[in-house]
Amino acid sequence: MNNEFLLIGLDGGATKVNGWTIEANNEEFELGKYHYGVSYQEFTGFSDKFIATDIQRQLKEFQSGKIKPGKKELRQGEAYVEAAAEVVLQLVRKSGLKKVLVGEGMPGLKTIDKRGIAVMANGPRIIDYCDQMEKILRDYNIQFLKPMEALGSDAFYCGIGEEYAREGQFKHMENSYYLGGGTGAADALKLKGHLVSLDNIKEWFVKTWEMKNKNDLSLEKCASAKGIQEIYGSFTDMTVAELNKKEIFPLNIREKALADEKEAIKTFEILAENLALLIYERITTLFAGWQGVFSFVNPNRAIPVRQHPYLGTLLDSIIIGQRLGDLFHVSKDDNLLWLPFFQRLSFLIMKSEVLDEEAKEYYCPGDSFNQKLLVISKLREAPALGAAIDAYLTYRNENNY
């Protein structure tokens, strides 16, 4: 770790913001000694009854370049920013260093300068997010080595973390797909030895949150911790809030399924089926282009083109991370998720009309999916780690640091 400044990665979620100090050693990074997290509700102005502005209005204002947050949005946004600033302040106090380099991932579409939030489905728009936070911290005499470059996406930061972190799984791969499941679903791709921004390939590659199955079930629900709770809650007539209060999370739902609770078993049947279908979609899209395996959450989403520069690609690995990775890790070799997932994926590949025999043999030698291709990420807190790495590399490249 460079003793001249404190490298900090922040991960802003739906209800709280978490931050870590990050150790940088040459080209490798890892979580540092200090961590702090705080809920938005702890700050003045936050309302648990806040209702986000209609998403269509948000999009219209974004496209027109005239974003006009209301008074309630502004107050809610201030609470979000104050929470993030508090995390930085506490990490500074813990470490004793007052000069910082900060990277942060936040949900939502970003402003043109990437330093604010222009569209947020379930939260406030904060168009001057970074300006607000930097002002708060400067009032505490915190020095920024460099102003925050941008608010990034959790998904891309997961990819950066897997590429540069000490325990990252992208590091030695040429072609790899990452699926992380936490509050939402995070996709990342490394193709031909390089990380690929999914925003730059949206004409042919579709993010998990954009897709739904034939029963109108969002694929994000099958990949995210909250979504798994929602599926289980639909069978038990419980909300996610009620499940959280009773401390019933995906790992607890798994325990209930192992104890033969029918609602939990049904939940895992849905997970195994749809996660296998999702991975099959990734495999076939890379190999032969979009095949229409799923429909879209947004019916106006442009149909992906089939032609792309990576046709014929075979994946070196499929990485499962975050809480979805934890779920797969504890499920290894069980009859609840692991084996049904691989059985279904093997069936889809062997019956595929778009994969040639060589591709089928690569993925399914002996007609069964090669389980060595599935890798569980050991990377803790990937979004925060990736945010800090992005800030660090940007600063280093600009200053020949």
Could you read off the pLDDT tens digit of each residue along the chain, which spans 401 residues? Answer: 456 899 999 999 888 999 999 998 877 899 999 999 999 999 999 998 899 998 889 989 998 999 999 999 999 999 999 999 999 999 999 999 989 999 999 988 899 999 999 998 788 999 999 999 999 999 999 999 999 999 998 888 999 999 998 889 998 899 999 999 887 889 999 999 999 999 899 999 999 989 999 999 999 999 999 899 999 999 999 998 899 999 999 999 999 999 999 999 999 999 999 999 999 999 999 999 999 999 998 888 999 999 999 999 999 999 999 999 999 999 999 999 999 999 999 999 999 999 999 999 999 999 999 999 999 998 878 889 999 999 999 998 887 66
Residues 120, 52 contacting (CB under 8 angstroms) = yes
- 175 and 362 in contact (C-beta within 8 Å)? no
Per the listing, tokens 């200053």 go with 399
pLDDT at position 183: 76
pTM: 0.89
Assign 3-class secondary structure to 148-202: CCCEECHHHHHHHHHHHECCCCCCCCCCEEEEEECCCEEEEEEECCEEECHHHCC
DSSP three-state, residue 76: helix
With b for 16 or more beta-carbon neighbours within 10 A and e for fewer, the 285-295 pattern comes to bbbbbbbebbe
Question: Which residue segments constitute the domains of the chain, with CATH numbers given?
Answer: 6-155+382-399 (3.30.420.40), 172-376 (3.30.420.40)
Other beta carbons within 10 Å of 74:
14
Alpha-carbon distance of 52 to 61, in angstroms, equals 14
Q: The tokens of 337 are what?
A: 């998720």
Question: Looking at residue 33, what DSSP letter applies?
Answer: E
Composition of the chain by helix, strand, coil, percent to 5:
45, 20, 35
Q: How many CB atoms lie within 10 A of CB 235?
A: 15
Residue type for 382, please?
A: A
Pair of tokens at residue 356: 């040639």
122 phi/psi in degrees, rounded to 5? -125, 25
State residue 3's pLDDT score. 62
Determine if residue 109 is left, alpha or beta; phi over 0 gives left, psi from -120 to 50 gives alpha, anything else beta.
Answer: beta
Q: What CA–CA distances, in Å, run from 228 to 43, 203, 295, 384?
A: 29, 29, 20, 23
CA distance 195 to 153: 14
Question: What does the alpha-carbon distance between residue 380 and residue 384 come to, in Å, rounded to a whole number?
Answer: 9
